[in-house]
Amino acid sequence: MVIGSALGWGNVAAIALAVVLAFFFGYSLTTLPLLRSDLALATVLPLAFASDTLSITVMEIVDNAVMLVIPCAMEAGLRGLAFWGSLAFALAVAFVAAFPVNRYLITRGRGTRSYTATTVTDAVRF
């Protein structure tokens, strides 16, 4: 959102960039520690996709919807308090929405931590 606003892009382009970057960095934060623990990329990628896709999707849908609903949030520009306040509020609401999703995934053995513990343990055994 910040990059799109800084570049003067419209709402659709700014949101598209924000979503792409959210998935890129979300998956990266999951895959890098696993790759550093000597797991193969072929093992790590399915784990990242399975454990993070739903959570990132919920977070992005809610975050961007809140930003679009707040009047003038997207048009305020980086120097406006309305932009930063709206962004902080949207992220807080998105966190609250994504938390139960993450909790559900973890309790069902589908969260990143569940996969990490199982995969690293299995990898050490062999």
pTM value is: 0.78
C-alpha atoms less than 13 angstroms from C-alpha of 33 in its C-beta half-sphere: 14
Residue listed under structure tokens 């975050």? 63
Q: Where are the domains of the chain?
A: 2-125
Task: List, for residues 31-88, the tens digit of each pLDDT value.
Answer: 999 999 999 999 999 988 988 999 999 999 999 999 999 988 888 888 888 889 999 9
Q: According to the model, what pLDDT value does residue 51 have?
A: 86
Instruction: Please spell the DSSP secondary structure of 75-115, one letter per residue.
Output: TS-TT-HHHHHHHHHHHHHHHHHHHHHHHHHHHTT-SHHHH
Residue listed under structure tokens 């055994």? 125
Q: At residue 1, does pLDDT exceed 90? A: no
Task: List, for residues 4-32, the tens digit of each pLDDT value.
Answer: 888 989 889 999 999 999 999 999 999 99
Q: At residue 2, does pLDDT exceed 50? A: yes
Q: According to the model, what pLDDT value does residue 16 have?
A: 95
What's the CA gap between 51 and 117, in Å, rounded? 13
Q: According to the model, what pLDDT value does residue 79 have?
A: 85
Sort 12 into a burial class: Cβ within 10 Å, 0-12 / 13-18 / 19+: exposed
Q: How confident is the model at residue 125 (pLDDT cuts 50, 70, 90)?
A: very low
